[in-house]
Amino acid sequence: MSADALLKWKSQILDYQQKVRESKPPQQTALFDLAPNHCDPDRIDPLQLSVRSLSFWRMPADSPGDACLYFVVDSAAGLILYVGETCRSNKRWKGIHACKDYIASYQDLHYRYEMKTAVNIAFWWDTPTDRRARQELELSLILKWRSPFNKENWERWGQPFS
């Protein structure tokens, strides 16, 4: 991928994600006052979460971790690259994870063209503990943000880092 192609690819994703961020979701009216759903995908903005180093999984941990959603983001570009879910936050990235390869290729290409990048991970802890509910929320966020490293969006953005 050339430097121009990389910039164009990132620009298209950024344009889409910024439009999503700026648009207000449709509000459904109800006859009764309903408590807002804390697991509403429209209330979760991955770029507003605290980020951690992608090497977080190498740190010693006392437990396998907790259920969460996680987001791989390029903080320098303001891009959401990947959305995932796990029931063991401290173990998920210790094993084989295809996203690690995409990230390495993405970072290598930026390094080659001397482009700034800051790939980090952010966690959203207030997720359902029920696996099916957590996976449904994950999928809705993948489709909402159209994160390019998730296979559900490869047809739209291609697979330049596989």
DSSP β-bridge partners for residue 122: 51, 71
Bridge-based pairing of strands 119-124 and 51-53 is antiparallel
- Sheet strands side by side (includes 119-124): 51-53, 119-124, 68-74, 79-86
The per-residue pLDDT for range 72-118, each reduced to its tens digit, is 999 999 999 999 998 766 556 666 678 888 999 999 999 999 999 99
How far is C-alpha 150 from the geometric centre of its chain's CA atoms? 9
Q: pTM of the predicted model, to two decimals?
A: 0.85
Residue 146 phi/psi, 5-degree rounding, is 50, 50
